[in-house]
Amino acid sequence: MFEESIIESPAQPAYRRPVGITKGPGEATHEFTFVSRDDQQVLKNGEYVYYELADPETVALNNTTGPIPIRRVLGRVIKRVPVQLYPDTFLGEPEIPPAQVAAMVGYNSRTNELFELHVAIMGYYDATTGSFINPWIPPQSGKQIYLADDAMLAQILSRKQHMDPGSATIGSLLTRTPNAVPIVLSVKDLVSTHMAIIASTGAGKSYLASVVIEELMKAQNKACVLIVDPHGEYGTLDQIANYPQFSEDGDGTGRGYRAQVQVYKPDQVKVRISTLNIGDMRQLLPEMTEKQQYLLSRALRKVHETKRSHPWGVADLKQAIKAVSRQKNDEDSEGADDSSTVHALTWRIEQRFEHSFTFDDTQHLDLPEIFRPGQCTVLQLNEIDERDQQVVVATLLRRLNQARMDTERGKVHSGESYLPYPVFVLLEEAHHFAPGGTEVVSTGILKQVLAEGRKFGIGVGLISQRPGKLDADVLSQCQTQCIMRIVNEIDQKSVAAAIEGVGRDLLDNLPALSKGQVIVAGAAVNTPVICRVRTRYTQHGGESKDAPDLWQQYFNKDTQESRRRSDAPLNGNRGFNLLR
């Protein structure tokens, strides 16, 4: 290819060859078509080409003194139509190639490959604003079309250059050879305006998310990351500590850097009961009667009043329930008896909380411990009931939001809710925490964080395999979208509806993407791109189980031997009993 052409200089290097000639306007106003033989088969769908245009602004100023700068107007190939198709009748005999028929009637088939390519104009790149400016002048018929070279694309597709501070290289441009054109996200935009990773199951969402996390943990970012991991797939990220990519030697003035990974096992994820509000309670104790709810909400208010910001436990809550009911009985002269309600409520609370390993009187996740720059914290929530997971996430987000608000507003200067840095929270299975159609405990706070997170420095990354089941507001709040293979039509529609920035032509590719290929659009890139996700440094934790292999193992020699040994005493016993 023609990589070495120089982007700034309008001078045409000898090796830059045009790939085709403009035919005319396309279907839409921002499209044009050109014709190419495409001998080297480079003009794939999604490939970038450009035509040259005298800078329209300079021309408009009528500034004839200096040379007029030449702009390279970039466009993306959206359709590739062969111009000369064999007639259907030539295709009637499966064992006879149509070229043979053509040869028989005297047509030398080597030259019949001619394509009409439809291109969507993106515009010329303006380095000062980092955006594409549409000149509104499509190429005239007959104008030469060039293939954009790798160096040019590397400069203009991504906001940042590879290894820049605040950059995240998640892979390379799909239409080019691997690593030829790195796709580099701008971490600042990614983190401040939220990100969504949407794809069908198995498309590589968790893999991509892990790649993003790896990039965030590199020395050029040193991010503060929390991963909510309902399937326990992110534990392997702790290998980050072993790789040199995630450390940096001190330069004498400061300490060196080494990324940390903290993995919290499900039994280490604690929620302090005193952080639960009435909504959480309703979720944890479903189907409470109206009376019970009333009693409980009054009791909660009371215990909050008496304890202020000190933690309280189940015992305190039970006491408050008793006190509130007594008080109520005194107020109601009719002497309605609440004792059965009190009894039932207390019993349910005991059942729910006294043996729970998630909900605790005193312990909970310490915010400054789980949120720390240069540290990635993984909260493994597998084994925790789904409703409890929602409460865990809701309470955590509430506390985080409060802490960031208080810190930013200067209300706290130390202690448990002092977080003087922005954080990034990655939420797997986001549709559990903000399902469309219904409201769960985590929906409200998640929406609030998404809406206000930019102000307080809380970035959220949402991952979901069912965009159709995800709350539409939540999805549209994410300004960076990573969309991978989606087969389901409903899901495709909801993605298209929630995401404006991505053209229809790109979304049409969704079912055709393979594993590990992603369309990235939105704030973190200059223009939507199709990217091949790079391989992880750390091992992937979300491998699918190889069932036949596991069944095979069950029957292999060693395991069979050990099983016989462990089964033996039982068999022996039974035999002995039978004999008797």
Partner 1 sequence: MKIGKIVKSDSHINYVCQIFGPREADIQPGPADYAFGRFVRIAVRSERADDPDALLDEALGQSREPVTYAVGVIYDTILQNPAFGALGPRLSNETQVELFSPDYISEKAVLTYIMVLGMMEERAVFGSEPEVLSVMHGVPLLSLELDSEIETMTDEEVRAFHFFSDPAGGPDSQSPYLHMGYIPHIIAQRSSLLPMVTLRIIDQLERLFPQNLSLLSIVKRNFAWRLKVETTG
Give the interface with Mg ion as residue ranges (CB under 5 A): 206, 542
Distance of alpha carbon 566 from its chain centroid, rounded?
46
Taking CB within 5 to 8 Å according to partner kind, which of partner 1, Mg ion, ligand ATP, none is near residue 9?
none
Taking CB within 5 to 8 Å according to partner kind, which of partner 1, Mg ion, ligand ATP, none is near residue 292?
none
Q: Which stretch binds ligand ATP (CB under 6 A): 142-150, 389-397, 444-452, 532-540?
A: 532-540
Residue 56, burial from CB neighbour count under 10 angstroms (0-12, 13-18, 19+):
middle
Taking CB within 5 to 8 Å according to partner kind, which of Mg ion, ligand ATP, partner 1, none is near residue 499?
none
- Give the pair of three-digit tokens for residue 564: 């016989």
Give the span between the Cα atoms of 10 and 52, in whole angstroms: 9
Q: Which residue of 39, 95, 330, 331 would you call a contact of partner 1, by CB under 8 A?
A: 95
Q: Is residue 103 near partner 1 by the rule CB under 8 A?
A: yes
Token pair 């389901």 is found at 488
Q: Which of 81, 67, 170, 157 is nearest to 118 (CA)?
A: 81
Taking CB within 5 to 8 Å according to partner kind, which of ligand ATP, partner 1, Mg ion, none is near residue 87?
partner 1
Q: Is residue 398 near ligand ATP by the rule CB under 6 A?
A: no
Q: Of 419-478, which residues contact ligand ATP (CB under 6 A)? A: 465
Q: Which residue of 141, 161, 289, 535 would you call a contact of ligand ATP, by CB under 6 A?
A: 535
Sorted by sequence, the CB contacts under 8 Å of residue 192 that are 6+ apart come out as: 422, 453, 454, 457, 459
Give the span between the Cα atoms of 157 and 174, in whole angstroms: 13
Q: Which residue of 72, 205, 298, 302 would you call a contact of ligand ATP, by CB under 6 A?
A: 205
How near is the Cβ of 113 to partner 1 at its closest, in Å?
13
Give the span between the Cα atoms of 1 and 514, in whole angstroms: 25
Q: Which is nearer to ligand ATP, 403 or 425 (CB)?
A: 425
Q: Which is nearer to partner 1, 18 or 97 (CB)?
A: 97
How near is the Cβ of 151 to ligand ATP at its closest, in Å?
24
Taking CB within 5 to 8 Å according to partner kind, which of ligand ATP, Mg ion, partner 1, none is near residue 201?
ligand ATP
Distance of alpha carbon 231 from its chain centroid, rounded?
16
Taking CB within 5 to 8 Å according to partner kind, which of partner 1, Mg ion, ligand ATP, none is near residue 106?
partner 1
Q: Is residue 85 near partner 1 by the rule CB under 8 A?
A: no
SS (H, E, C) 405-441: HHHHCCCCCCCCCCCCCCEEEEECCHHHHCECCCCCH
Token pair 């400061």 is found at 254
- Give the pair of three-digit tokens for residue 4: 């070495």
Q: Which is nearer to ligand ATP, 215 or 338 (CB)?
A: 215
Q: Which stretch binds partner 1 (CB under 8 A): 95-103, 113-121, 286-294, 322-330?
A: 95-103
Residue 97 has a CB neighbour count (10 Å cut-off) of: 14
Task: Kindly list the distances between the CA atom of residue 538 and the CA atoms of 213, 232, 345, 380, 544, in Å, as whole numbers in the listed order.
Answer: 11, 15, 48, 18, 17
How near is the Cβ of 67 to partner 1 at its closest, in Å?
46
How near is the Cβ of 115 to partner 1 at its closest, in Å?
20
Q: Is residue 92 near partner 1 by the rule CB under 8 A?
A: yes
Q: Is residue 202 near ligand ATP by the rule CB under 6 A?
A: yes
Q: Is residue 84 near partner 1 by the rule CB under 8 A?
A: no
- CB hemisphere CA count around 424 (13 angstroms): 28
Residues 178, 535 contacting (CB under 8 angstroms): no
How near is the Cβ of 267 to Mg ion at its closest, in Å?
22
Q: Which is nearer to ligand ATP, 171 or 453 (CB)?
A: 171
Q: Which residue of 468, 516, 522, 528 would you call a contact of ligand ATP, by CB under 6 A?
A: 516
Q: Is residue 552 near ligand ATP by the rule CB under 6 A?
A: no
Q: Is residue 203 near ligand ATP by the rule CB under 6 A?
A: yes
Q: What phi-psi label fits residue 171: left (phi over 0), alpha (psi between -120 and 50 degrees) or beta?
A: left
Helix (H) or strand (E) holding 328: helix 314-331
Helix (H) or strand (E) holding 375: strand 375-380
How near is the Cβ of 43 to partner 1 at its closest, in Å?
23
Q: Which stretch binds ligand ATP (CB under 6 A): 99-107, 303-311, 435-443, 540-548?
A: 540-548
Task: Kindly list the distances between the CA atom of residue 481 and the CA atoms of 167, 227, 515, in Å, as whole numbers in the listed order.
Answer: 17, 18, 17
Q: Is residue 204 near ligand ATP by the rule CB under 6 A?
A: yes
Q: Which of 457, 421, 391, 447 is nearest to 228 (CA)?
A: 391
Q: Which stretch binds ligand ATP (CB under 6 A): 64-72, 199-207, 393-401, 438-446?
A: 199-207
Residue least distant from Mg ion (Cβ): 206
Sorted by sequence, the CB contacts under 8 Å of residue 349 that are 6+ apart come out as: 285, 314, 317, 318, 321
First to last CA, the chain: 87
Give the span between the Cα atoms of 223 and 374, in whole angstroms: 5
Q: Is residue 206 near ligand ATP by the rule CB under 6 A?
A: yes
Q: Which is nearer to partner 1, 109 or 155 (CB)?
A: 109
- Give the pair of three-digit tokens for residue 504: 């229809």
Residue 183, burial from CB neighbour count under 10 angstroms (0-12, 13-18, 19+):
buried
Taking CB within 5 to 8 Å according to partner kind, which of Mg ion, partner 1, ligand ATP, none is near residue 179?
none
Count of helices and strands (H, E) across the chain: 18, 22
Q: Which is nearer to ligand ATP, 232 or 516 (CB)?
A: 516
Q: Which is nearer to ligand ATP, 172 or 186 (CB)?
A: 172
Q: Is residue 382 near ligand ATP by the rule CB under 6 A?
A: no
Q: Is residue 109 near partner 1 by the rule CB under 8 A?
A: yes
Taking CB within 5 to 8 Å according to partner kind, which of Mg ion, partner 1, ligand ATP, none is near residue 516?
ligand ATP
Taking CB within 5 to 8 Å according to partner kind, which of Mg ion, ligand ATP, partner 1, none is near residue 544?
ligand ATP
- H helices present in 84-128, as ranges: 98-104
Residues that bind partner 1 (CB under 8 A): 87, 89-90, 92-93, 95-96, 100-101, 103-106, 108-110
Residues that bind ligand ATP (CB under 6 A): 199, 201-207, 465, 515-516, 533, 535, 540, 542-544
